[in-house]
Amino acid sequence: MKKYGEIKSVQSFWTEYIPIHWQFNHLRTVFWERKENNDLLQETEILSLSAKSGVQRYSDKTHEGGNKAKDDLTKYHIAYPGDLIVNCMNVISGSVGLSAYKGLISPVYYALVIRNDNYNKFYYNYLFSLETFQKSLLPLGKGILIHESSTGKLNTIRLRISMASLNNVFLPVPPRAEQDQIVRYLDYKTAKIDKLISGYKRQIELLEERKLTVIDEAVIHGVDSSELKDSGTNWIRQIPKHWEMVFSKKLFAERKDKAFPDDEQLTASQKYGVITQREFMEREQRRVTVVMKGEDILKHVGKGDFVISMRSFQGGLEYSYVEGKISSAYVMLIPRKEKVYDEYFKWLLKSRPYIKALQGTADLVRDGQALRYANFAKIPLPVIPLDEQKRISEYIQSEISRIDSAIPLIQKQITLLQEYRTRLISDVVTGQVDVRDEAIPENEVN
């Protein structure tokens, strides 16, 4: 791509120069703010806005928490399709986007409307998506800005930018025909980039699925060619002929020790397994509730115990590589070493078939009741020679490591494409490169 022949410098925090034939005008000359009240409850559909998902309808966000029905909707404003919605408290972290819906927006949102046909709203949507532009608004905010202690990135933002301040922000104004060409070009190029990114993400999804399949197949059927037989249980249809199924109590005993005086507080999570609470906070860069009283009800966790956690019905049992104490809501299982090779059962008790079997032991889990030892005892487990358990676990670890080594390479490609996409939008929207003569296939323009 070529550069513009003549440029001019501009007084801006987010771009140094623009093409000489572009204007650089206040936002108020490009947009007006829509402030249509909902005092008669004309609308009930609430719109939300996030940097990740753009403008959405709450009715489409079934995963969201909160009861929006309790909000006073008369205090909301009405937005229309094509309005550029800006969260005045989070615009500096990317909470801005064009709305495809008519609905209600929070009083902290601004609905910006293009003033006339000299301006292309899609061009300005691209401009508002630029991180350099968003961060240039920081000096306009009034309030508190909190940074993450470890990375320095913006974390919690309570800066409110007034509409009066936004109105005085300068925006580039290319000729309308040039704005249209920029939008066509970026739509075409970003669609191709997004397609590549989507393909790479799909590759990662398939690799993650492959990991789960490797685990599921190996822990149930082994890794050696073997004749299969009916298992006699509901959760495993067939097992190798020389395996047997037994009551889980024969393989694991319940630990009932109370916490020892010198035990360190532990945390059980699906993400990290059982680790010290201190390490968990370091990894997550956040604090968690520390038990300060009632330690007499805490339980001891031994190194090598399997732990039934409050989330085991979602992700299986956790394995503890450390010794310490944990809430009495958890159940610790002591493996009988003459029959249990820890690393094999670490995979088995987090496999999808086992998790499904665990879910089937308690209808009341959904009502908040924790899984107990009685739930665990209902699921028969396979008895396998220890050396074979070891071979299975080593096979799984080898396959998982091989798959895991491929994922970062794919993720790197995604990151490079995302960086290229960001840089491309910035260069084109700010006039660092000239795309006026770039050919765009008609059948590939949105």
Domains of the chain: 23-173 (3.90.220.20), 244-383 (3.90.220.20)
pLDDT of residue 95: 85
**Whether pLDDT at 418 is above 60:** yes
Reduced 3-state DSSP string for the chain: CECCCCEEECCCCCCCEEECCCEEEEHHHHEEEECEECCCCCCCCEEEEECCCEEEEHHHCCCCCCCHHHCCHHHCEEECCCCEEEECCCHHHCCEEECCCCEEECCCEEEEEECCCCCCHHHHHHHHCCHHHHHHCHHHCEEEEEECCCCCCEEEEEEECCHHHHHCCEEEECCHHHHHHHHHHHHHHHHHHHHHHHHHHHHHHHHHHHHHHHHHHHHHHCCCCCCEEECCCCCCCEEECCCEEECHHHCEEEECCECCCCCCEEEEECCCEEEEHHHHHHHHCCCCCCCCCCHHHCEEECCCCEEECCCHHHHCCEEECCCEEECCCCEEEEECCCCCCHHHHHHHCCCHHHHHHHHCCCHHHHHCCCCCHHHHHCCCEEECCHHHHHHHHHHHHHHHHHHHHHHHHHHHHHHHHHHHHHHHHHHHHCCCCECCCCCCCHHHCC
Residue in the structure block whose two tokens are 């020892």: 260
pLDDT score at 166: 94
Q: Specify whether the CB–CB gap between 173 and 30 falls below 8 A.
A: yes
pLDDT at 199 over 90: yes
Residue 62, pLDDT score: 46
pLDDT tens string 232-247: 999 999 999 999 999 9
- How many CA atoms lie less than 13 Å away from 440 in the CB half-sphere? 21
What are the residues whose beta carbons fall under 8 Å from the beta carbon of 61, sequence distance 6 or more? Answer: 48
Q: Please, which pLDDT band fits residue 369 given cuts at 50, 70 and 90?
A: low
Higher per-residue pLDDT: 329 or 118? 118
Of the pLDDT bands very low, low, confident and very high (cuts 50, 70, 90), residue 264 is very high
Mean pLDDT of the chain: 89
Tokens of 433: 């490169």
Token pair recorded at residue 55: 């403008």
- Asked if pLDDT for residue 20 goes beyond 90, the answer is yes
CA gap 92, 245 in Å, rounded: 59
- pLDDT, tens digit, for every residue of 378-388? 999 999 999 99
Structure pTM? 0.83
Phi, psi of 347 (to 5 degrees): -75, -45
Residue type, 40: L
Contact 275, 267 (CB under 8 A): yes
pLDDT tens readout for residues 144-176: 655 544 444 544 456 789 999 999 999 999 999
What mean pLDDT comes out for the span 212-225?
Answer: 94
pLDDT (0 to 100) of residue 286 = 72
Block residue for tokens 């501009």: 10
* Average of per-residue pLDDT across 350-369: 79
pLDDT given for residue 66 in this prediction: 42
Give whole-number Cα distances, 131 to 93, 94, 138, 161, 241, in Å.
8, 7, 11, 16, 61
Q: What is the pLDDT of residues 267-308, one digit of tens each?
A: 988 888 899 999 989 888 776 655 545 556 899 999 999 999
Looking at residue 42, what is its pLDDT?
87
Question: Could you give phi then psi for residue 325, rounded to 5 degrees?
Answer: -130, 155
Bridge partner residues of 333 (DSSP): 254, 306
Give which of 325, 305, 309, 329 is closest to 317, Cα–Cα: 309
Average pLDDT over residues 364-382: 79
Q: How are beta strands 154-160 and 142-147 bridged, if at all?
A: antiparallel
The pLDDT of residue 295 is: 58
The pLDDT of residue 68 is above 80: no
Lowest average pLDDT, out of 34-38, 121-125, 288-292, goes to 288-292
Single-letter code of the amino acid located at 301: V
